């Protein structure tokens, strides 16, 4: 099979990416090469007054633009006409008004009819400084800027090359509440509204959504909330992979492991979202535990720091005064409310009406494969339209690149109302589109595919010779899971 022939290539990419956290922690030169120098005209979000709303938010409508500015984009080129930041009104987990920022990219040659792609980057951080809106500013110095030459940047470049408008919302909100589902989904939907209003587009403009990992979590929540929260939006399809479906299972899967920092960041995100959970955790956490968790909220503590060696093996349960901190009514209530597993969630889950393309690495070492597989089964049993593909012999980081071409292929089909009529949950050969294949050139456009390959090679070139301990760990983990 084609997918088997891809494994040496994808494995090499995964090894290179696995080296990123350690490499950035030890190589200032490499980090500078990734994020660029700081732009004094666009300071970090925590000190930039643009991010702070004024006036009566409650009087504003969902998706209403509160403030607007242009910015120099890292994606400047012949396909981009202009780029804007929009501060817009949305709602938090408890439907209280708040404001967040979306980056808007206007194509040089808009398609007719107009189309919109909402790209959700995997920010995965508790620091507002890691917001993607800052990362897309040229020479911002953002620690999230690495994603500009990985999958989020590829989706943006592809959409602009097709003449589609692009919106990338800061869906974690002003407090960067990582893994809070209602917060993320509502911010995405209101960000799309803000773009439509700002650019005076037809209300029924076709919208696609895409994301991976933490961006996939936000995308699946936007899909889930669409019919109730923003039914007026004409969402025609969504593609996402490596999707965290259930916060409890994901936390237990990560805790004490190599990527335990994500478990800590998710716990902090929910703690900052739910006051009752915050009070409960504060009542059981030790002083040393507070110190450990405090580093995740430091300025500039972005995804590469969260996933880095500093948190390798971290067991957050060791910093509490109780044996099982999840065995508590408050924790259970929050985890059930934030779950999309039908067997555990506290409500009947909606079934989005538009077609979706989901994929997941069978050997995912960051997000549980079984949860997404079960989610697909449950949704299909209730009439969903989902194409689901399993990445064989792959881990989570392999999926960063492996899902890009097939997701773009699906999104183009969705925009043209030509998604194939297949049995829900079927495994299709679409994921055999390698970045190095001629089919990728056809699907993505050769220019975008070349840029994606260059981004992949940049990651491998910067870090491929580093991190031998990460290489050994990858081989050991793969043997253990096979």
CA distance 182 to 337: 9
How far CA 11 is from CA of 17, 193, 202, 440, 454, in Å, comes to 10, 39, 44, 19, 17
Active site residue 364: yes
DSSP 3-state assignment of 154?
A: helix
Neighbours of 324 (CB within 10 A): 9
Write down the catalytic residue from 73, 125, 140, 213.
213
31 labelled catalytic: no
Q: Give the span between the Cα atoms of 448 and 425, in whole angstroms.
A: 29
Q: Catalytic one among 190, 198, 246, 364?
A: 364
Residues with Cβ < 8 Å from 20, sequence gap 6 or more? Answer: 146, 304, 459, 463
For 435-464, give one letter per residue: b (16+ CB within 10 A) or e.
beeebbbebbbeebbebbbebbebbbebbb
- The residue annotated as part of the active site, out of 31, 85, 360, 396, is 396
Q: What is the DSSP string of 363-377?
A: T-SSS-HHHHHHHHH
Pairing mode, if any, of strands 97-107 and 165-169?
antiparallel
Taking the C-alpha atoms of residue 142 and residue 139, their distance in angstroms, rounded to an integer, is 8
Beta bridge partner(s), residue 391: 361
213 is catalytic: yes
Pairing verdict, β 65-70 and 80-91: antiparallel
Catalytic residues: 213, 364, 396
């Amino acid at each position: 099979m084609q997918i088997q022939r891809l494994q040496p290539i994808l494995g090499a990419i995964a090894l290179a990416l696995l080296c990123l956290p350690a490499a950035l922690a030890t190589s200032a030169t490499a980090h500078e090469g990734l994020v660029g120098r700081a732009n004094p005209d666009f300071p970090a979000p925590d000190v930039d007054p643009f991010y702070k709303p004024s006036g009566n938010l409650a009087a504003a409508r969902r998706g209403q633009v509160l403030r607007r500015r242009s910015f120099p984009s890292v994606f400047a080129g012949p396909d981009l006409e202009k780029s804007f930041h929009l501060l817009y009104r949305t709602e938090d987990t408890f439907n209280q008004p708040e404001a967040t920022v979306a980056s808007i990219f206007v194509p040089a040659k808009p398609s007719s009819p107009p189309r919109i792609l909402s790209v959700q980057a995997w920010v995965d951080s508790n620091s507002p400084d890691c917001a993607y809106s800052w990362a897309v500013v040229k020479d911002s110095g953002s620690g999230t800027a690495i994603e500009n030459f990985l999958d989020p940047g590829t989706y943006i470049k592809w959409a602009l090359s097709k003449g589609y408008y692009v919106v990338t919302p800061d869906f974690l909100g002003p407090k960067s509440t990582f893994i809070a589902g209602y917060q993320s989904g509502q911010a995405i939907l209101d960000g799309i509204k803000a773009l439509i209003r700002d650019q005076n587009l037809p209300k029924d403009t076709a919208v696609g959504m895409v994301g991976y990992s933490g961006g996939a979590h936000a995308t699946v929540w936007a899909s889930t909330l669409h019919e109730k929260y923003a039914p007026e939006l004409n969402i025609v399809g969504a593609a996402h992979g490596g999707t965290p479906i259930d916060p409890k299972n994901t936390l237990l899967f990560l805790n004490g492991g190599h990527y335990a920092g994500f478990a800590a960041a998710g716990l902090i995100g929910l703690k900052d979202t739910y006051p009752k959970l915050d009070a409960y955790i504060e009542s059981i956490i030790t002083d040393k535990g507070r110190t450990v968790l405090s580093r995740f909220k430091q300025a500039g503590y972005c995804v590469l720091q969260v996933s880095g060696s500093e948190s390798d093996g971290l067991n957050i349960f060791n910093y509490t005064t109780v044996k099982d901190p999840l065995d508590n009514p408050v924790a259970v209530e929050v985890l059930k409310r934030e779950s999309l597993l039908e067997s555990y969630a506290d409500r009947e889950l909606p079934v989005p009406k538009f077609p979706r393309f989901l994929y997941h690495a069978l050997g995912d070492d960051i997000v549980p494969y079984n949860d997404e597989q079960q989610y697909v089964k449950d949704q299909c049993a209730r009439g969903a339209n989902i194409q689901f593909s399993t990445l064989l012999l792959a881990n989570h980081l392999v999926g960063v690149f492996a899902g890009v071409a097939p997701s773009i292929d699906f999104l183009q089909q969705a925009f043209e109302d030509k998604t194939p009529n297949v049995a829900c949950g079927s495994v299709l050969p679409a994921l055999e589109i390698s970045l190095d294949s001629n089919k990728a050139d056809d699907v993505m456009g050769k220019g975008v595919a070349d840029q994606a390959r260059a981004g992949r090679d940049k990651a491998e070139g910067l870090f491929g010779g580093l991190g031998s301990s990460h290489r050994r760990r990858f081989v050991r983990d793969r043997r253990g899971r096979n």
